[in-house]
Amino acid sequence: MITTLLVANRGEIACRIFRTCRALGIATVAVYSDADAGALHVREADTAVRLPGAAPSDTYLRGDLVVAAALAAGADAVHPGYGFLSENAGFAAAVQDAGLVWVGPPVEAIELMASKTRAKKLMAAAGVPLLAPVDPAAARAEDLPLLLKAAAGGGGRGMRIVRELGDLPGELTAAAAEALSAFGDGEVFAEPYVERGRHVEVQVMADEHDGVWALGTRDCSLQRRHQKVIEEAPAPGLDDELRDRLRDAATAAARAVGYRGAGTVEFLVAADGRPYFLEMNTRLQVEHPVTEAVFGLDLVALQLRVAEGEPLPSTAPPQPTGHAVEARLYAEDPARDWQPQTGALHLLDVPDEPGLRLDTGYTSGDTIGVHYDPMLAKVIARAPTRTEAARLLARALERSRIHGPVTNRDLLVRSLRHPDFVAARLDTGFYDRHLAALTRGADEADQRLAATAAALAAAARNATSIAGGFIRFGAWRNLPSQPQLRRYRSEPDGREHEIAYRRTRDGVAVEVEGLRVVSAGRARVTLERDDVTRHFDILARDDRVYVDTATGSHTFTALPRFTDPAERTEPGSLLAPMPGTVVRLADGLAAGATVEAGQPLIWLEAMKMEHRILAPASGTLTALHAAVGLQVEVGALLAVVTDAQEEPTA
């Protein structure tokens, strides 16, 4: 019987596992890096053990340190969560060699599925349908497009789509380099890229008594950079025959490797309805809550039960009911190449209502650092129908108050309301086609109204209170006062708004026709326009102002009346968009080199993602400050490109 469980992970998944442990009466142990010393998962655990350092390679990826931490804390079992060491057969073996219970599949099953190329051979022998591999060295034009994939690992690392034969050698090199960096294994293989394919997976749960459950389907087609963004269960629009084929194939895959515990068999479903095996994840998935919601199960509790040698509760799983949709809330800017964001999370407030679930590793006041994945939370909605679940989730996200770095919240809301999503026209190219529309700027009129509310709240904060609780906006004079001005820049789209208001005998007024100030307090402003009353909640943090409304939120930077000349940047400067590490430079890149507009010059790795820094114009690289291995802060000057049109002539 497990009495004390160490979770070899961090953040949201560690907190989620601890929640089940508390319900089962199991004591918990966290491990943490120096960067996570104050993290939520550390605060929620009964015991916590420090792993010195900040980089994953020095901490959460050090299996020897994690095993030592479990022994030092008196744990008798280890749960790997997902990511990090969760699919590392050597770590699983080390846990068991130390006399600890491994809450995961057998080492042999992990080894068999660790390499996608080996797994595909095994699945072919088991009769599971799959795409035939393509030898990159022998690829022809008719084989295109191709998908390059890392043989080890997942999460989209090492994946490239190749549409031109001439691009294949360079993309192979880049994919292999990224795979080696991410997984320590540079093996890459190629297979046909299926246009408009759907990513559909089957959750399996197996025990050591020959019991195997196939727990329905999930659709995870909405992805960015081959990483999932929105998931749902059951996968919509599949006929019974296809569901049966997927269930039977997943069960065959689990039995073929003698599986035990929770796992996921992933498929690509082509537009013609034919399914192809992609891989088997020998761990719990990020999106497991949607399956829990429709089956009424706790998959972590089942993992623990199976690890203790118990059978599954019955020979067949319970019947699913309703529909569930999950959205991953990231600190990232989708409009700017999905750049991860860092900084203080001043407020994270998601509605707590029936049908909603929040899984997170953050609370208000925490800091989003540079070392790990930028996912803030998962928000899950369950309802009797798909339409109701998607509507509930979109509205909950819209009403959430999230103050701090830029997030993908608006993208999620718009995705859930997009006609293609509503009609279940799903495939992995959704964001490639619709990103521009989904990341459009906020309506300018709504934005200006929110900026007006921000200006009035600032005026109220600078005013004085008098008897009776009213606010005096300054000494009243029997003469028209000069209007007061405040300037705001909307984030992240950069629009600037200048707001004029005037102090009156009754308080304050704005010089906008048809707009009336109903009330203006320090934290709430009510405005009326065309007989419609709207409320605005305002929170100011330094020069940032967050304005929440019933239909969305706005973030502004309060601007000084005059721009500081010292803030100007030399034209053509390439600045680091985030803190990170320079991992690659373009071949032959050096000061004096000729570059073309849009040419990738520098590759920056931050928060488990690679970002390309592109030449802003065609011209000459007049300065290069970046070098491979250099760690940079946001805003650091990496290089300078002089526009060819501005270069001096002889």
Task: Check if the beta carbon of residue 355 is closer than 8 Å to that of residue 382.
Answer: yes
Concatenating the DSSP letter of every residue in 218-236 gives: EEEEEEETTEEEEEEESPT
Structure tokens at 283: 């761990």
State the DSSP string of 15-74: HHHHHHHHHHT-EEEEEEEGGGTT-HHHHHSSEEEEESSSSGGGTTT-HHHHHHHHHHHT
For residue 8, give the DSSP letter: S
Query: How many Cα atoms are found within 13 Å in the side-chain-facing hemisphere of 209?
Result: 11
Alpha carbon distance, N-terminus to C-terminus of the chain: 82
How many CA atoms, within 13 angstroms, populate the side-chain half-sphere of residue 265? 36
- Residue in 62, 247, 283, 486 annotated catalytic: 283
559/34 Cα distance (integer angstroms) = 35
The one-letter amino acid at 164: E
Measured from the Cβ of residue 279, the count of other Cβ atoms closer than 10 Å reads 20
Residue 206 CA to residue 263 CA, distance in Å, equals: 8
Residue 73, both tokens: 């804390």
- Which residues, 6+ apart, have CB-to-CB distance to 337 below 8 Å? 611, 612
Query: From the centroid of its chain, how far is CA 150?
Result: 21
Q: How far apart are CA 444 and CA 310, in angstroms?
A: 59
Packing angle, helices 386-399 and 409-417, rounded to 10: 150
Amino acid at 284: L
* Distance (Å, whole) CA 67 – CA 78: 8
Residues in Cβ contact with 543 at an 8 Å cutoff, skipping those fewer than 6 apart: 557, 558
CB-based contacts of 467, cutoff 8 Å, min separation 6: none
- Euclidean distance between CA atoms 327 and 381, whole angstroms: 9
Instruction: Determine the distance from the C-alpha atom of residue 195 to the mean position of all C-alpha atoms in its chain, rounded to a whole number.
Output: 24
- Is the omega angle on the peptide bond into residue 145 within 30 degrees of 0, that is, cis? yes
> Which stretches within 162-221 are classed as H helix?
168-183
Instruction: Say if residues 607 and 376 touch (Cβ distance below 8 Å).
Output: no
Structure tokens at 511: 């010089």
198 - beta bridge partners?
A: 269
Active site residue 283: yes
- Which H or E run includes 265? strand 261-269
Range list of H helices, 184-285: 240-256
Contact at 8 Å (CB) between 493 and 506?
no
- Active-site residues: which are they? 283
